[in-house]
Amino acid sequence: MANTSDRTADLVEWLASSLGKGNLAPLSCDDLEELSSHLTEVSYAGGTQIYERDQLPDRVHILRSGTVELARQFGGRRVVVQLLRPGAVFGDIPLFLRTGEPTEARAVEDSLVLGIDSLKLFALLGERPKLARRWLVSVAGRMSEMQDRVSDLLAGSLDRQVSSWLLREAGSDGVSVSQQTLARLLGARRTSVNQSLRRLEEKKYIETGYRYVSVLDPEALAAVIAGQ
């Protein structure tokens, strides 16, 4: 069993590679060690709520493993605003803006979440310029991702929306996502998303499995998005 120093070293290494884009704002080992010393771990079973919408944030979270969805209700329908993967930071923007959480956060599967007290984070960002810059890069990256989400929703037909999301999220290794979650991300019915995925799979553009989609022909998906 790894000792405490080994676990700390592993966490520091993981933070260096996972928190924002490290090449844009490198952190010193001292910055990483100081941040890691204030992080606590909480495990959430799949389906467990991490926080509620409008809740005042007292902690900022970093997803260590698993998947978390940020969602809210629109007209009685639950819509997933964002699907978070390991390395994602959440809960900090409402903290900076002094507002309640705009969404609820829920673990999609068993997930390990790191947390830091909000007052301590403010203090660290004020004391450590490199960490503040790195956090700024992280926030900017997430704002860019939200712009991509808007692009998905404005892509046009459901086939275009599905293609846009898959082309960005799947990469070369595919993406783990259920049809229900994808439907909530796109504000569509699950049956409609199922039909869209089936059409794309019949054309050999993608391949689907249980809660999994891989992209076989990225150029073909790009053509779908372009309306060709």
Window from 59-68, 118-127, 180-189 with minimum mean pLDDT:
180-189
Q: Alpha-carbon Rg of the chain, whole angstroms?
A: 19
Q: DSSP H helical segments within the chain, as ranges? A: 4-18, 29-37, 92-97, 118-127, 129-153, 158-169, 179-186, 190-202, 218-225
| Bridge partner list, 77 | 74
Tell me which of 3.40.309.10, 2.60.120.10, 3.40.190.10, 3.10.690.10 is the CATH number of domain 4-151.
Answer: 2.60.120.10
**CA nearest to 112, candidates 42, 53, 170:** 42
Binned at pLDDT 50, 70 and 90, residue 4 comes out as low
Decide if 163 contacts 225 (C-beta within 8 A).
yes
Decide if 152 contacts 161 (C-beta within 8 A).
yes
Question: What pLDDT, in 10s, does the model give residues 133-192?
Answer: 999 988 988 888 888 777 767 777 899 889 988 988 887 678 888 888 888 888 888 999
Supply the pLDDT for residue 2.
47
What is the assigned CATH class of domain 155-225?
mainly alpha
DSSP 98-133: T---SSEEEESSSEEEEEEEHHHHHHHHHH-HHHHH
Binned at pLDDT 50, 70 and 90, residue 27 comes out as confident
| Structure tokens, 117 | 């007290």
| Structure tokens, 136 | 């700024």
State percent of the chain over pLDDT 90. 47
Q: Say how many C-beta atoms besides its own lie within 10 A of residue 133's C-beta.
A: 16
Pairing of strands 49-51, 77-84: unpaired
| Bridge partner list, 71 | 80, 104
Gap between the Cα atoms of 109 and 210, Å rounded: 14
Gap between the Cα atoms of 190 and 192, Å rounded: 5
Distance of alpha carbon 212 from the chain centroid: 17
Supply the pLDDT for residue 210.
87
C-alpha atoms less than 13 angstroms from C-alpha of 105 in its C-beta half-sphere: 26
Gap between the Cα atoms of 40 and 116, Å rounded: 7
- Over residues 32-56, the mean pLDDT reads 93
Supply the pLDDT for residue 22.
67
Q: Is the pLDDT of residue 28 over 80?
A: yes
Binned at pLDDT 50, 70 and 90, residue 6 comes out as low
Sequence ranges of the domains in the chain: 4-151, 155-225
